[in-house]
Amino acid sequence: MSLESEFVYAALDVNGLKGINDTLGHNAGDELIQGAAGMDAHITKPVNESKLKECMVRLLASR
């Protein structure tokens, strides 16, 4: 990453995800996470495809 690069750190907290997983199943919880990620994609600047190798996404689990 060069000094001229843009950097974004974003955190998304999905309240009640355990309840969704427990009642509707993990597939429903996964769809919720994917939908939330899709909403983030609409409010952020598009990434040049040649820069995708520099992108990193992490899922941080909490208790």
Per-residue burial over 31-48, b = 16 or more CB atoms within 10 Å of its CB, e = otherwise: ebeeeeeeeeeeeeeeee
19, 25 contact by CB (below 8 A): no
Break the chain into its structural domains and give their ranges.
1-63
Instruction: Compute the distance between CA of residue 29 and CA of residue 46 in angstroms, rounded to an integer.
Output: 26
Q: Which tens digits make up the pLDDT trace of 4-62?
A: 666 667 777 778 888 999 999 999 988 888 887 776 665 666 656 666 566 666 666 66
